[in-house]
Amino acid sequence: MAPAILGADVNGLNGFHPPTSKVNLDSTERIPKGHHPSISTTIPFRDITTNDHPAAFEPDTCNGNRHHLSAPANGLSKEPTRDHEQADSGISDCYRPAASATSTSINPTDDAHQTDSDIANGNIFEKTQNRKVDIGPHASIVVREWKLLRNSVTNVTPTYVDTDYLGVAKITAVSKHGMNVKIKDKAAATKRVNESVEFLAQRLADGRSLYGITTGFGGSADLRTLKVMDLQRALIQHQHSGILPIDKKAGSIHLSLGKAPGVNFMPEEWVRGTMLVRCKSLLAAHSAVRFEIIELIISLLNNDMIPLVPLRGSISASGDLQPLSYIAGVLEGNPDCYVWTNDGNLGRIIIPADVALEHLVQKSITFGPKEALAVLNGTAVSTAVAALAMQESHTLAIFSQVLTAMGVEALHGSTGSFNAFFDRVRPHRGQREAAANIRLFLTGSQLAHPEQEDEENRIGLKQDRYALRTSPQWIGPQLEDLALAHEQITVECNSTTDNPLIDIEGGAIHHGGNFQAASITSAMEKTRSCLQMFGRMLFSQCTELINPAMNNGLPPNLAADDPSTSYTMKGADINVAAYMSELAYLANPVSNHVQTAENGNQAINSLALVSARYTHMAIDCLSMICATYLYILCQALDIRAMDRGYLSAIGPAVNEITAHIFETALSDATNATALNQLQSKLLEQVVRQYSLTTSLDTSDRFSAIAEAVQSTLTTALYTDGSLPKQFDALSAIKRWTDQTSTTLHNLFLQHRQAYFTAPDATPYLGAASSRMYSYVRKDLQVPFHKGLADHPTKDNKLKTLGSNISIIHEAMRSGRLYDPVLLCLGAHP
């Protein structure tokens, strides 16, 4: 999706022109159909379907209302501009103030809500059907990027690097899913880039002295030489200073992971993205690089030969010099530069660059004037790593909203916190979107309190705590920041970022600073801050859910059995605090730690790659928080559902006991309604005490409930002056207490065992909770934790809590879990 700020002809701006013929680099396509054994081709979009062509998504703005498109991509309605508003360019197209919401309003309170008393009295209501609604601007970005990614992966669509607008989805398709990279019009691309080479050659022939071609580099630019080929080799040589594993034999690197706290080389997917972005920039023909260099990079990509690149060492000032130098080293066949390749047994091995080129039947590159500088001097590494971080950050933003809606249900929160009135009187764009999303997600909930509920009769807090109640106000600014970060990254993906730059049309060579990757730093600082904000909100919701003093009637640590001997989620509670602490630390900006480098020449430098790396670390932490919280939420929802089934059974049972003991005393015509009133009062107190005694073991809990209700029973009887004089009230109260205690206890054990046998919370859940709960329980086969009995042994083959959480986490990181997340938005026709 091209930001509108670039104008209509984005490709033309970068030197790309519409192709006149289709010439594919068949020689570079050695692995069929773009599938690579080392790269996952699992399609994380099982149910999300679209008939849209990828071109419908790009170039485009957030709402699909610019350039050549006449309608929003993927059929999602955009919000119309009011007559008196001037349409802004760029990100403002995504977020425009509105006097009133134009999207279809979803009001969960239109659906039947059941209180605990309703359940106990047998008042069961049906949920209404979900209604289709428009989604907000940030969600539109996420849905479109995922649909474009799905299209590429399912249809094995290559990326045409010379003509396609390069965005987050295409970088992800190539980097994570191994889609091929092609040149759509080889003749036109070759002609274009070779013109820049010839232009530079003519300037050198005229005796011009040019930076990095006849001069030294950076702070040594006062040096002069006519040995232009040696100068390019010297550039690569002095940048080959990174730290990598010494032993590069098969398996040695992976074995070393057990001895060290981390790795010192980049993940292959980062390097794949880097190679793609660098090719895009070089094909703009502002860099004076021969076409055969670009072609060799593409050949390496498509044959899954990925350079081994140091993880650290770039300050992203004059571009990402050091990491890119290792790609250049592979191109020149340096025997001390290495590539990852397939071992023939679905594994990966490392081989020297010269051997890799021999396998490809490719000649090594001897860099001509400026060519090594053009390969090294750019923001491709920072940009690719940032784009991959952006893809996951977007989905985490949607997931955080889904989890918040689930939290509202699990905590018996109120839907009123998300009323559209708040957005009308405080019309922040992101807040409006977040509130609308959560309202949608809560559609059909029988656990969340409805807006029209009589607050005077609500037991406990009159309003939810901040982690739920102010979530739209908390989430909203993050959605706005993520949309801006998305624009910054996609602009950078389609830019020329080296120096000097060749301007063929203007007949000039320009010296400047497009390599300064501060835009990427800015995008990553915002993104990382957003991740921390999501994490802090979810962490607060999670701790509230586990704490019996705050969770509105759930047991301590969400133990489904006796809380004195079962501490189910206590460890997870501690884990989430650890993840959150690290996430909060990572949210600190990197850009204020700049150090002067390279003879004082690079006195300001962006640290973009460092910031992008830290953003991936933040994604790791937030993903762990989300996976753990989802597991905890499903446990809480199961307990709520189990309680609802139990409460539906105790109403008739308690009423029968009350009638049996007091019916004779309250049977005359004067007291015709007295029995019904007494039954109602007692049942209400039983339900209330049930929620207040969750910290007691089963053996003690129900006698405590019955004894606590005695005061209500005593008051009711002794204030009724019409009781027969011969009626022994004290004896009746004792009988009622004993029978009620025994009945409540026995019914609880029966219903708990029945629920343990076939747990299913979906009848009570809203739209999003039902989908996510079903995915966890059915698709992932992560079960309801029944307590101490679920401790793994050799015989029961059960999993630890952490293993079950890890299953959810793996589904997140593979992308599979985001199918149901996006379906919660209605992201399908």
Structure letter (DSSP) for residue 508: E
Query: Among this protein's residues, is 160 annotated catalytic?
Result: no
Take residue 27 and report the two structure tokens written for it: 């020689």
Take residue 102 and report the two structure tokens written for it: 């134009």
Q: What CATH superfamily classification does 396-452+462-499+513-627 receive? A: Fumarase/aspartase (Central domain) (1.20.200.10)
Percent of the chain with pLDDT over 70: 79
Question: What is the arrangement of strands in the sheet containing 348-352, beginning at the earlier edge strand?
Answer: 306-307, 338-342, 348-352
Q: Could you report the per-residue pLDDT of 539-586, keeping only the tens digit for each? A: 999 999 999 999 999 999 999 999 999 999 999 999 999 999 999 999
758 φ/ψ angles, rounded to the nearest 5 degrees:
-145, 75
* Residue 47 pLDDT grade (very low, low, confident, very high; cuts 50, 70, 90): very low
223 φ/ψ angles, rounded to the nearest 5 degrees:
-80, 150
Please, what is the end-to-end C-alpha distance for the chain in angstroms? 21
The stretch 748-773 carries a mean pLDDT of: 96
Helix (H, G, I), strand (E, B) or coil at 564: coil
674 φ/ψ angles, rounded to the nearest 5 degrees:
-65, -40
817 alpha carbon, distance to own chain's centre: 10
Beta bridge partners of 306: 340
Q: Write the DSSP assignment of 30-82 as a string of letters.
A: -SGGG--TTS----S-SS------GGGGSS--TTS-STT-SS-GGGPPPPPPP
Q: Could you report the per-residue pLDDT of 374-410, keeping only the tens digit for each? A: 999 999 999 999 999 999 999 999 999 999 999 999 9
Q: Taking Cα atoms as reference points, which of 781, 806, 689, 686 lies closest to residue 743? A: 686
Structure letter (DSSP) for residue 795: T
Of these residues, 95, 160, 211, 718, which one is catalytic? 211
Sole residue written with tokens 């390279």: 598
Q: Could you report the per-residue pLDDT of 16-26, keeping only the tens digit for each? A: 333 333 333 33
The stretch 753-769 carries a mean pLDDT of: 96
Largest CA distance in the chain: 124
Left (φ > 0), alpha (ψ -120 to 50) or beta: where does 507 sit?
left
The stretch 186-214 carries a mean pLDDT of: 91
Q: Taking Cα atoms as reference points, which of 19, 32, 38, 139 lies closest to residue 79? A: 139
Q: Could you report the per-residue pLDDT of 703-733, keeping only the tens digit for each? A: 999 999 999 998 888 776 667 777 888 899 9
Parallel/antiparallel/unpaired status of strands 159-160 and 181-182 = parallel
109 φ/ψ angles, rounded to the nearest 5 degrees:
-75, -10
Taking the C-alpha atoms of residue 529 and residue 532, their distance in angstroms, rounded to an integer, is: 5
Domain ranges within the chain, ordered by starting residue? 186-255+262-377, 396-452+462-499+513-627
Take residue 609 and report the two structure tokens written for it: 């790659």
CATH topology of domain 186-255+262-377: Fumarase C; Chain B, domain 1 (1.10.275)
Q: Taking Cα atoms as reference points, which of 210, 192, 586 lies closest to residue 368? A: 210
Higher pLDDT, 688 or 212: 688
User: What does the H/E/C string look like for 483-495?
Assistant: HHHHHHHHHHHCC
Helix (H) or strand (E) holding 728: none
pTM to 2 decimals? 0.84
589 alpha carbon, distance to own chain's centre: 21
